Amino acid sequence: MPIFAVHYTYSEATVAGRDTHRPEHRGWLADQLAAGALLTSGPYPDGSGALILFQAEDAAALQTLLAADPFARERLIDDVRVVEWLPVLGAFAS
């Protein structure tokens, strides 16, 4: 199954909203982990965004999944970049 790197970009304007909705966002991520769709996730230390690695059947299925993220629903993500990723070595290589 393809792996996708999802880059979220945040701004200062969404800090309060992200603080409010973070528990729900992390619960959604935990659900994706339990379902096998999420491989790993975490914010960038400078607060500018986050990197999330997902497995999905295809880009369309991933877009449907991402639309359910509480941060997306609340419009707290300034930009989303999705790139299919092919790990060759390391923890995520097959």
pLDDT tens track for 22-49: 999 999 999 999 999 999 999 999 999 9
pLDDT at residue 94 in the model: 79
Answer whether residue 45 is part of any domain: yes
Whichever domain contains 58, its CATH number is: 3.30.70.1060
> What residue type is 8 in one-letter code?
Y
Question: Could you list the residue range(s) of the whole structural domain that residue 28 is in?
Answer: 3-85
What's the average model confidence in pLDDT over 51-62?
97
What's the average model confidence in pLDDT over 47-62?
97
Percent of the chain past pLDDT 90, that is, above it, reads: 97
Burial annotation 6-38 (CB, 10 A radius, 16+ → b, else e): bbbebeeebeeebeebeeebeebbeebeeeebb
Paired tokens of 38: 């999420």
